[in-house]
Amino acid sequence: MVDRFFIAGNIVDVLNSCIYAAEVEISQGKIASITKRNVPYSEFIIPGLIDSHVHVESSMLIPSEFARIAATHGTVATVSDPHEIANVLGTAGIDYMIENGRTVPFKFFFGASSCVPATGFETAGASIDAAQIDALLKRDEIKYLSEMMNYPGVINGDPDVVAKIAAAQRCGKPIDGHAPGLRGSLCEEYVKMGITTDHECLCIDEALEKISYGMKILIREGSAARNFDALSPLIEGHFHDVMFCTDDIHPDALMRGHINLMVKRALRDGYDIMKVLRCACVNPVLHYGLDVGLLQVGDAADFAVIDGPESFNIIKTYVNGRLIAENGVPLIAHVPYEAVNKFNAAPKTMRDFLIPELSGTLNVIGVTDGQLITDKRQGRANVLDGNLVSNIGDDILKIAVVNRYEKNAPPAVGFIQGFGLKDGAVASSISHDSHNIVAVGVTDSSLCEAVNLIIEHGGGICAVVKDEKKILPLPVAGLMSTGDGFEIAQCYAELNEFAIKLGSSLRAPFMTLSFMALLVIPHLKLSDKGLFDSDTFQFTGLYQERDIILTPE
């Protein structure tokens, strides 16, 4: 890194809501001076973009590789919840993310994952209690208490939940929320406990209500959940209370763009650039107390150079005065890094996925493209040799979740509608929140084959049909690859396209698949222990009429 240099352009000073031509002096990674010039510059200098809530693991890239791609889009920092790897490896997983992130010139700000395991209704690989949360929050590199998904526990005063919140408050660190659809007095109680953000709002009215209680609202555009259209009107009148995030973004989507795409979209929709960049750059710094510069003298030299506000094409990205990307090419080197994992499942047989026929209408998980929320639907499966099998005509396919932490645990099996497969099966060890193996298949044999392919590689995403098998191995906790990020993005794109060729009508089949075991999102999901009703927060029967209520072991 050059110790001292100058860069000139039109400064987009968001804090003071003005744009002016100037020359910026960078010294020792900080902005030493800004001198106004009466010169017509063609390029604009903006504060670096920040993803205010992201699970880096969902990109299937370790932090150092995520940084290489994100930097090409003007991103200089992320507020990262290591919740996924924490549910597999515990605090060791959080340490892994922090240590790998330090190997590159990019600003990762990690939180203490508050819900490990997310619920007691699934098998996770680890547990993080209140004492461990307290120890994490005392560390300087841990900036906040990550999303508190157990909102019933917050509202009802669960002792473990309250202790974790109290630890964050003692350390003076913000507490992220996660409460889709929570409204009224219950929401108010949730916020009063110290919850400061939400990235799960379902509509503008919900967001406005939460803002009225004092929450910051994160507008999310990820690979599965997208809320920009519903929530972008907040930018106009509530830009002080809004941030931008992706939450979960797959590698092919990250290749195409990051927070810059949300900024472009907002500018095209006519929102003022100062309000938009307030959401994209300034608010995360102020809310989380991040060490990220905002183009003021004395700040860290974290900024991006664009061709103009109209097109908003990223030309260069700087972190601490170091040029880390230019014209879409990362200047961060690939860092070889070791893999860590926890994968104990033994291969399954087709018999493990059989469901004996009983009379009655089935409870079926209903999928909507672009949404994490699922419906409670009813339908019927086909019958073969006395066992229930997929009903392709009604798009009712078999879904299974396999415990990956125990060698011989039996799979949980149910039915799902909306996936659209006409042949074969897809499977993944990315399965929020506990990251057991989740698979959807047209036949029991293809379902079994896909699950066993994941087990054979110790994690990954795959698709199988007849004699053709494709897999992207993910040796880091069954979530991430240590390979080159651009190559992984290409492999993922090809695998996603293969799944679509099998008939899936979903834009991102593997991203949607990864949320089918996410019990904290309504309405009907499948854990490794059985079909789960997220509204009543208890297990439910496969058959609607029988309405068998199960209890976890």
Q: Which residues pair with 384 in a beta bridge?
A: 387
**No. of helices (H) and no. of strands (E), the chain:** 17, 29
d(CA 270, CA 266) in angstroms, rounded, equals 7
DSSP secondary structure string for all residues of 179-224: -TT--HHHHHHHHHTT--EES---SHHHHHHHHHTT-EEEEEB-SS
Output DSSP code: residue 333. P
pLDDT in tens, 401-424: 999 999 999 999 999 999 999 999
Please state, in angstroms and as integers, the Cα–Cα distance from residue 102 to each residue in 56, 107, 365, following that order. 14, 8, 41
- The torsion region of residue 330 among left (phi > 0), alpha (psi -120 to 50) and beta comes to beta
Instruction: Judge whether 402 and 348 are in contact, CB under 8 Å.
Output: yes
d(CA 403, CA 391) in angstroms, rounded, equals 25
Domains delineated in the chain = 49-291 (3.20.20.140), 350-539 (no CATH)
Please tell me the predicted confidence (pLDDT) of residue 545. 59
pLDDT in tens, 320-343: 999 999 999 999 999 999 999 999
Please tell me the predicted confidence (pLDDT) of residue 422. 97
d(CA 507, CA 189) in angstroms, rounded, equals 37
Q: Scanning the structure block, which residue is given the tokens 């860290």?
A: 300
Q: How far, in whole angstroms, is CA 304 from its chain's centroid?
A: 24
Point out the residues of the chain with pLDDT beneath 50: 546-553
Q: What is the SS3 string spanning 96-165?
A: HHHHHHCCCCCEEEEEECCCCCCCCCCCCCCCCCHHHHHHHHCCCCEEEEEEECCHHHHHCCCHHHHHHH
| Terminal alpha carbon distance of the chain | 57
Please state, in angstroms and as integers, the Cα–Cα distance from residue 549 to each residue in 355, 388, 546, following that order. 17, 20, 9
Please tell me the predicted confidence (pLDDT) of residue 550. 37
For the record, the structure tokens of 147 come out as 């999303």
For the record, the structure tokens of 50 come out as 């920040």
